[in-house]
Amino acid sequence: MVESNDHSLSSESENKIAVETGTRTDISELTMNKKKDFEVIESVPDEDILSTARKECLAPCSSPRRLGYSILSFFPILGWIKNYDVKEDLIADIVGGITTGVLHVPQGIAYALLSGVKPINGLYMSFFAPLFYMIFGTSRDASLGSFAVVALMTGVANEKIMASYYPSNSTTIFSLDDYSGYDINPTSIATTLTFTVGLWQLGAAVLKLEFLTLYFSDPLITGFTTGAAVHVMVSQIGNIMGLHLNRVSGPGYLFVVIYRLVTKILEVNWVTLTISFVGGVFLILGKDYLSPAIKRCSKIRVVIPYDLIAMIIATLVSYFLHFHENYSVRIVGAVPAELPEPQLPEFSLIPDCLSPALAIAVVTIAVHISLAKMLAKRFDYTIDPGQEMYALGLTSFLSGFFPVFPNSTALGRTMVQVESGARTQLSSLFSCLFLLVVILFIGPLFDSMPLCILNTVIVIALRPMFRKFKDLPGLWKISKIDFAIWIVSFLATVCVDVIEGLGISVFFTLFTVVLRTQWPSWRSTISRPIVAENGKWIKRICVFEFDSFLLFTNSERFKLAAYETVRNWIDNIPSLVETDKTKRHFVFDCSAITLIDSSGLNAVREVTYETKKKTMAVVSFINARSKIKELLLTNKVATSKDDFFDSFDDFLSTVNIKKSIDISVVDELK
């Protein structure tokens, strides 16, 4: 019940509203607070984008103190290392770091092949990337290193650039050693690509473009990565079966590869296929059955490195049975036992790397920041998205001076690091120390490892990505548009190519943003006749709510919805003999309108004029923000400040309605 016109801070009122949808009436108790007085303690003025960007860029140089603080903020390690709790965190970080380091070994070696470089380059990348990120990153848990999708994008770019410089070999199989003496080779391309990715990421960080990651929704990222996983899987099948396939590239190349796999099925190397099959069964049994059983029976968190175990067993069997010599099974070959010296990237390759590097930079930023935010929320700490972009950029930029390929955060490896007990980025130091031992002393022992076991490790690691298909029914129920984004991202990536598929996915997602603004939901409600106690007048109220900002893209939609509301309202008003006793109020609920452009303003003006003309109603506005209120008053859409009310409750009190109000829904579109 609305009791009085009391606007005191402590007073509250309750309105009983009968909401009628079709033939069913639900009675709900709505408690509305009266108007409250607030003091504006801070207001952000409207500024143009260039002025805002200029101020933000120059802010660090506004004083020596701020300059010093800005420089130190580039090294978050200086902040958390001085507060490091040795007793609580050191042992956990050592265990977690070594566990993650063990996982880096098979992933680094396997994804190096996917990138088109030598296995040792994968170990180098797994060593340098976490080390640099530890210095610049703000996430305690993110694990940088190899990532299947990024490795695939690197491999695709590697093949295209190699084909442009060596067109005569563009369709033949080549050995990495064939180009070891050339300035332009797969390793130099991957290294320069890493350097260029860092340049893109640093540029985005300097321009403070982290807000663009908001447009990379979960359906886009998930659909794209799942589509890329299909490319990864198909690219590994030939090696798993021991087939020798010519290189194929370009839009739709995936279907050409599948066709060639089918036509060459009789050329399978059965020893290679057997190794792959046995290795795959071992990995599935271990990861899906043995590990869960151990986890249920033991309170100790144990992460068993099945990938590494499979690689060691396959290497030993290959070494003693001479698989390469006797059965033509391809092996890793010589692995150098040394750390590389820093060297400049091949700057002449940067123009060729710009386009694929941009795509890789976008993927790594989107995946990393979304994962870092998720972990920060889970463990109750905060990250700085702007600094994270600097961290990614500096990590790639500095790694580009060593023979590596682009790095990224991987969910699986990161969760292993978390579950193994690591608490800070210091765990990366122990991970790198373990990798250093592997590079200097253990790496050469893998020279007899069959390449097919690495391909098997890659394919088995893709299973979590393919499980994303199970989320589609739930996504359909939540949002049809998000479902469409997922499907389009997946199909574009699979049917066209990885890099082009990403571009199509982003374009379609932006297009859906336009669609959402052009066809927003709206709601209209009208009251049943409200007769005063003395019977002298009748109140009739219509409330119209538009759930979007009001721009040229949806101003026509706004007018059509408003006019339909007015027509329905008129149809629900019976003819009255004494029309002068009828008081009508048309109320715009502006709670969802945060922005109005000139087209939207003209639409409100037109609707207001036509509504007054056709219904003789008093037009009011509720829940309008100060900026919207000022705009409507300045342009004389509203006649005075008395047309505005802070809430519907405030409006009811002001027009002296003291009885319960029955509101019936006459139209609603969602």
pLDDT digits (tens, 9 = 90+) for 374-417: 889 888 899 999 899 999 999 999 999 999 999 999 888 888 88
Give the pLDDT confidence score for residue 54 in this predicted structure. Answer: 63
CATH superfamily placement of domain 12-38+519-669: STAS domain (3.30.750.24)
Q: Which pLDDT band, with edges at 50, 70 and 90, does 532 fall under? A: low
Give the pLDDT confidence score for residue 9 in this predicted structure. Answer: 35
Tell me the average pLDDT across 515-530. 78
Q: How many CA atoms lie within 13 A of 465 on its CB side?
A: 24
Angstrom distance (rounded) from CA 622 to CA 651: 7
Give the pLDDT confidence score for residue 183 in this predicted structure. Answer: 77
What sections of 168-305 are H helices per DSSP? Answer: 186-206, 218-240, 253-263, 270-285, 291-297
Closest to 458 in 3D by CA, of 145, 248, 243, 239: 239
Closest to 123 in 3D by CA, of 463, 352, 445: 445
Tell me the average pLDDT across 200-212. 89
Give me the numbers of helices (H) and strands (E) for the chain, helices first please.
Answer: 26, 11
Residue 245: how many other CB atoms lie within 10 Å: 17
Give the pLDDT confidence score for residue 219 in this predicted structure. Answer: 92
3-state secondary structure 437-501: HHHHHHHHHHCCCEHHHHHHHHHHHCHHHHHHHHHHHHHHHHCHHHHHHHHHHHHHHHHCCHHHH
User: String of b and e for 71-98 (b: at least 16 CB within 10 Å)?
Assistant: eebeebbeeeeeeeeeeebbebbbbbbb
Which pLDDT tens digit goes with each residue over 461-492? 889 889 999 999 999 999 899 999 999 999 99
Q: Which pLDDT band, with edges at 50, 70 and 90, does 17 fall under? A: very low
Give the pLDDT confidence score for residue 551 in this predicted structure. Answer: 87
Specify which residues 33 forms β-bridges with: 12
Q: Which pLDDT band, with edges at 50, 70 and 90, does 360 fall under? A: very high
Give the pLDDT confidence score for residue 41 in this predicted structure. Answer: 46
Which pLDDT tens digit goes with each residue over 497-512? 888 898 999 999 999 8
Q: Using alpha carbons only, what angle is made at residue 232 by residues 231 and 236, rounded to the nearest 5 degrees?
A: 115
One DSSP character per residue, 492-540 reads HHHHT-HHHHHHHHHHHHHHHHHHHHHS--EEEEEEPPEE-TTSS-EEE
Task: Burial-class residue 243 by CB neighbours within 10 Å (0-12, 13-18, 19+).
Answer: middle
Angstrom distance (rounded) from CA 451 to CA 239: 8
Give the pLDDT confidence score for residue 23 in this predicted structure. Answer: 30
Closest to 155 in 3D by CA, of 200, 201, 187: 187
With contact defined as beta carbons under 8 Å apart, do 486 and 472 qualify? yes
Output phi, psi for 166, to 5 deg: -130, 70
Q: What is the DSSP letter of 268?
A: -
Q: Picking from 3-17, 135-149, 266-280, which range would have the lowest pLDDT averaged per residue?
A: 3-17
Residue 121: how many other CB atoms lie within 10 Å: 26
Give the pLDDT confidence score for residue 354 in this predicted structure. Answer: 95
Give the pLDDT confidence score for residue 553 in this predicted structure. Answer: 85
* Per-state percent for the chain, helix, strand, coil, to nearest 5: 60, 10, 30
This prediction has a pTM of: 0.77
Between helices 451-461 and 306-321, what is the axis angle to 10°?
Answer: 160
> What six digits make up the tokens of 482?
């998000």
Which pLDDT tens digit goes with each residue over 34-55? 444 444 444 555 555 556 656 6
Angstrom distance (rounded) from CA 273 to CA 328: 12
Please tell me the total number of residues recorded for the chain in this structure.
670
Average pLDDT, the chain: 83
Q: Would you kindly state where each structural domain of the chain is located, as residue ranges?
A: 12-38+519-669, 49-75, 84-169+180-515
Closest to 400 in 3D by CA, of 186, 191, 116: 191
Tell me the average pLDDT across 524-537. 63
Give the pLDDT confidence score for residue 594 in this predicted structure. Answer: 87
Give the pLDDT confidence score for residue 581 in this predicted structure. Answer: 55
